Amino acid sequence: MAAFQEKPLGFFTDTSICIGCKACEVACKEWNQLEGNAPKFTADSFDNTGQLDAQNWRHVQFVEQVPDNTGLIPTPTPIAGGQAWLMMSDVCKHCKEASCLEVCPTNAIMRTEFDTVFIQSDVCNGCRNCISACPYGVIGFDEQKGVAQKCTLCYDRLQIGMQPACAKACPTESIKFGYVDDLHQVADQRLAALQQAGYKKAQLYGRDTKVYGGLNAFFLLMDKPEVYSLPNEANATLPSRNNLPGYVGGVATAVIGLIAGLVAFRNGRMNGNGPNNTRPHA
């Protein structure tokens, strides 16, 4: 198989045609030899995976905005007459400006020749700083291996010209794989078609540079990003934004603290204050 060119590769996940079959989750686990977490009976959702983590590198989210027992819709979404059952196969976004990569102290997280974000498991020491930084809750800590894990965009498959396992398995082609530039065009056409059909809330997420400089794994959503637990533009911020205020606050406090200490140690003594000031002053 022809190897891929060294150009940005990624996913375009079109949530409007996801049927929630979880074939992507299964294919990912099979290829990447992920055992999965112990099954949990949630009883209130079709989502029994729960979240992205060390064992779940694809997670089919179910946004179940269907009427509850009283017939009320907790958070109505007017895409289907006020009722909606949204599904999204979530994954690492392979951000162009990646929060995880920014903070990783060991350089275990690197950018590949395909512009994807990859954790080198032999370099990672399990400090979990990346978990604290990823705004999408993508990375999980593998207790057995003692390292952080997430979607690799099937880096091993890419290197031999094979597409990622999830995209290959997806029966509806909700997950499309390819060069990011090409995927952008496909996404634009699909969005235009949906909007013409009356789905006014349909929108692309991560297609442009407003969210983390653009996402190599971007989405077509049927509602606001927040509905899918994705931060909106205003909240898509890099951890490093807090370096300056953090250190400025620290330095200001240090200066005030040192002055306060000096005042306490020198001033009172020079004034001859104190409970036991019988000896000559310094």
Partner 1 sequence: MTGAEHFAAPPEWQWWILGYFFFGGLAGGSYALGTLLRFGGDPRDELAARIAFIASFIALIPCPIFLTVDLGQPLRFWHMLLDTGPDGGLAFKPWSPMSLGSWALLAFGLFSFVSFVGALAEGGQLRAASGLARALRGGAGLAWNAIGTVLGLFICAYTGVLLAVSNQAVWSDAAWALGGMFLASALAGATALLLFLGRSRRDVDADTAYRLEVADRYFVLLEALLIAIFLVTVAVAGTIAKVLGVWIVLWLVVLLGLAAPFLSARARTWPPLAAPLLALLGVLALRALVIFSAQT
Site string for partner 1, 210-229 (x = CB under 8 A): ----------------x--x
Residue 172 in 3-state DSSP? coil
- Choose which of 22, 29, 93, 207 interacts with ligand SF4 (CB under 6 A): 93
Distance of CA 130 to the CA centre of its chain: 10
- Choose which of 117, 158, 169, 227 interacts with ligand SF4 (CB under 6 A): 117
149 binds ligand SF4 (CB under 6 A): no
Site string for partner 1, 229-248 (x = CB under 8 A): xxxx--x-x-xxxxx-xxxx
- Choose which of 86, 87, 103, 183 interacts with partner 1 (CB under 8 A): 103
Q: Give the C-alpha separation, 255 to 76, whole Å.
A: 52
Q: Give the C-alpha separation, 157 to 167, whole Å.
A: 12
Alpha-helix runs per DSSP H in 57-175: 99-103, 129-133, 155-158, 165-169
Nearer to partner 1, 62 or 179 (CB): 62
148 binds ligand SF4 (CB under 6 A): yes
Length of the chain: 282
Distance of CA 141 to the CA centre of its chain: 14
- Choose which of 9, 88, 131, 167 interacts with partner 1 (CB under 8 A): 131
Residue 136 C-beta: closest distance to partner 1, Å: 6
126 binds ligand SF4 (CB under 6 A): yes
91 binds partner 1 (CB under 8 A): no
- Choose which of 75, 83, 125, 235 interacts with ligand SF4 (CB under 6 A): 125
Range list of β-strands (E), the chain: 9-14, 58-65, 84-91, 109-111, 117-119, 140-142, 147-149, 175-179, 203-205, 217-221
Identity at 230, one-letter amino acid code: L
Binding site for ligand SF4 (CB under 6 A): 92-95, 98-100, 104, 106, 108-109, 117, 119, 124-130, 134, 136, 138-139, 147-148, 150
